[in-house]
Structure 1
Amino acid sequence: MMLKEFKAFIARGNVLDLAVAVIIGAAFSKIVTSLTEDVLMPIIGKLFGGLDFSSYFLTMGPVPAALQGSSDYAALKKAGVPLLGYGEFVTQAVNFIIVAFIIFLIVRSVSKLLPKPEAPATAEPADVTLLREIRDELKARPRV
């Protein structure tokens, strides 16, 4: 019984559409991540005086002696140093804006391609119909 319900649930179009969307979204995310990390962030980093924007951070605690003076965000984070990684946050925010803008463009393009649904004809209220019929009847009568 439960297996049949599960098969019916999986076979519904919405579930399959969602599965395809998640898979395509994961692949798309890799492309956008590469665009952000490999193309845009180096340009932004160059404008702000550094080659790697994600290396901007503030240390919030003691740094081990072996890592004193290090600017390697990943190594410091791995060592357990509390960091305020605002550069990584900016990278992720730019990544989000790019994804949101591309999705906006896709939805906008698709909505232009799809035919607009026709507005359903609203039924006229009965009293308006009756008044129309009375008016038409009065107009059709010969004048005396």
Structure 2
Amino acid sequence: MGFISEFKEFAMKGNLVDMAIAFVMGGAFGKVVTAFVEKMFAPIIGLIMGGIDLNDKKLIVKDGIAEVKDAAGTVVTPAVAEVAIEWGAFLTALIDFIIVAFVMFMIIKAMNKMKKPEPEPAPSGPTQEELLGEIRDLLKK
């Protein structure tokens, strides 16, 4: 079998195609959840907390320094960015994750419920040797 036909067989297997579809749908679902959290959930939390934007909340560890230039326009002191812990963005991402994890849990739970339970194996009867032994015992009588 040639390389191309092997690859084609591999790529067209059901599990790979299913996984690709799930990956695309998961990405789209993630965007929907992110939009929900950022555009609907966060503003409500911000309103409750006094009109703040949750994504902008941060703990500044070290203030930034603006660039200083002399009269000729030469940079005397370069700018230094602030060092901050952006806990608001982290909290938003955490809420995002919790919602996605909960929805995935509910989907898996529903799928498991819809699966038909496997029938229990029929109780096994006596083996051929046991039957032959019984016939032998009956013939001896």
Q: Same fold (TM over 0.5)?
A: yes
Code of the residue aligned with 1:108 in structure 2: it is K
AA aligned opposite 2:26 = G
Specify which structure has the higher proportion of helix.
1
Rounded Cα–Cα distance in structure 2 between residues aligned with 1:101 and 1:58: 29
User: 2-side partners of 1:39 and 1:84: how far apart?
Assistant: 24
Give the aligned partner of residue 29 of structure 1: 30
The runs of at least 4 aligned residues of structure 1 exceeding 6 Å deviation read none
Q: Secondary structure at 1:29's aligned position in 2?
A: helix
1:28 is paired with a residue of what secondary structure? helix
Q: How many pairs are equivalent?
A: 120
- Note the residue ranges of structure 1 that are not aligned, 5 or more in a row: 67-78, 139-144
Task: Say whether residues 1:14 and 2:15 are aligned partners.
Answer: yes
Using a 3 Å threshold, how does the CA distance of structure 1 residues 82 and 119 change in structure 2: closer, same or farther? farther
Alignment RMSD: 2.8
Measured after TM superposition, the shift of residue 45 of structure 1 is: 2.4
Identify the structure with the greater strand proportion: 2
Offset of residue 113 of structure 1: 1.9
For structure 2, the residue ranges without an aligned partner over 5 or more in a row are 68-79
Question: SS of the residue aligned with 1:97?
Answer: helix
Alignment of 1:61-80 (within 5 A): 61-65=62-66, 80=81
Instruction: List per-residue Cα deviations over 1:32-89 (Å, max 9, x = no partner).
Output: 01111111112222333343111111123331338xxxxxxxxxxxx84322111111
| Rounded Cα–Cα distance in structure 2 between residues aligned with 1:83 and 1:7 | 50
CA–CA separation in structure 1 for the residues paired with 2:98 and 2:125: 47
Which structure has the bigger radius of gyration? Answer: 2
